[in-house]
Amino acid sequence: MNLNFASDNVGPAAPEILAALVEANSASAMPYGKDPFTTRAQDMIRDTFEAPEASVHLISTGSAANALALAALANPWDAIFCHHEAHIEVDECGAAQFYSGGAKLRRVPGANGKITPDTLGAALAEIPPQNVHSVQRGPVSLTQLTELGTAYSRAELSDLTAMAKDAGLKVHLDGARFANAVAAAGCSPADMTWRLGVDALSFGGTKNGCLGVEAVVFFDPEHAWELSLRRKRAGHLWSKGRFLGAQIAAYLEDGLWLSLAGAANARMAELCAGLADLPEAKIVAEPAGNLVFLTLPKPVHDRAFSAGAAYYSYDTDPEGAPDRPVRARIVCDWSKTSADVAGLLALWRG
């Protein structure tokens, strides 16, 4: 039984993806993305997104994908608008600042990990156009699934992108868990991106069964060459690019990416259902995919940890009462089984 629910990243790569890697190793290939695996991966992404003109750049980490995309969309003197809990703000050690040459991140509040038209409007209002003393309005970066495990509805996304467009701003989507969002929504990838006004997507693979690969997708190819140069300059152009290409090709083949995400989402649904008879566990925000934040009484949490469970937990009041609530983040990666979930629930139930 696998009781490590710490992150999507703790799980293994999917067998199909590993097999593709082995297959890609069977012959020589030209370096630096001039190989058939990369070409095929790019074509499959364009097909998957119904975006034949899109520029697609493979890269090995999500932080690099986000920072690269934002650097192409933001001037060094711009503010990038993002949720105050966004990965780019909280968890990337300033990568967007580094890549963009010093752009600011403007933290936009909002419940359940989501920016709202009100909070985005207020943030925009703080930076009136044409004021030389201030940083300038730059792109809006949204996250889908959010860092809290919730999802924007398409209507919510559309409202935000419309507001950005009205202000003449570009929209980036951090899609580290985009597969989980699409699997949950049951819509097409295009319906959750460019048809809603998203200009650039960080399309995640690593968290969902790849070893380490993401794609930066720009639906308008105008930045294609710039992105190639920025990626190279950041040391992110792989010499043996076939190993990135092979992963993405296998990931998209026959909808594997959605199957993997669907499995992870289903496990999370089982976990939440199982919480019904554990009333002292409280869900912080209703999960849309494979990630949830809970509060658990400390003894419940401690019991699970003593028995070998793993997940990120935050004891927000170390001096508090013995049965104080502990905040826990639970993530089901694609490989978790119903038995694993049941096992975790059983530990909590005691």
Residue ranges in 61-120 that form contacts with a copy of itself under rule CB under 8 A = 61-68, 75-77, 90-95, 97-105
| Least distance between a copy of itself and beta carbon 108 (Å) | 13
What is the nearest approach in angstroms of a copy of itself to the Cβ of residue 51? 23
Total chain residues near a copy of itself (CB under 8 A) = 72
Q: Which of residues 157 and 309 has its CB atom nearest to a copy of itself in the complex?
A: 309
Cβ-contact 75, 253 below 8 angstroms: no
Distance between CA atoms of 320 and 230, rounded to whole angstroms?
49
Closer of 173 and 196 to a copy of itself (Cβ): 173
DSSP 245-268: HHHHHHHHGGGHHHHHHHHHHHHH
When binding is defined by CB under 8 A, the residue of 40, 43, 136, 302 that contacts a copy of itself is: 136
CB 52 within 8 A of CB 46: yes
Sign of CA dihedral 155, 46, 142, 125: negative
CA distance 340 to 350: 15
What is the identity of the amino acid at 209?
G
Q: Indicate which single residue of 20, 29, 157, 347 sits in contact with a copy of itself (rule: CB under 8 A).
A: 29
Q: Using CB under 8 A, which residues numbered 146 to 175 contact a copy of itself?
A: none
Q: Which of residues 217-246 bind a copy of itself (CB under 8 A)?
A: 226, 228-230, 232-240, 243
| Selected binder of a copy of itself within 132, 155, 276, 321 (CB under 8 A) | 132
- DSSP helix/strand/coil, 108: strand
Reduced 3-state DSSP string for 38-100: HHHHHHHHHHHCCCCCCEEEEECCHHHHHHHHHHHHCCCCEEEEEECCCHHHHCCCCHHHHHH
Q: Report if residue 318 touches a copy of itself, rule: CB under 8 A.
A: no
The nearer residue to a copy of itself, 239 or 306, going by C-beta atoms, is 239
**Residue 179 CB, nearest distance to a copy of itself (Å)?**
15
Rounded Cα distance between 97 and 292, Å, is 29
Distance from C-alpha of 240 to C-alpha of 249, rounded to nearest angstrom:
15
Site track 173-212 with a copy of itself (rule: CB under 8 A), x = hit: ---------------------------------xx---xx
Identify which of residues 59 and 256 has a Cβ nearer to a copy of itself in the complex. 59
Ranges within 295-314 binding a copy of itself (CB under 8 A): 310
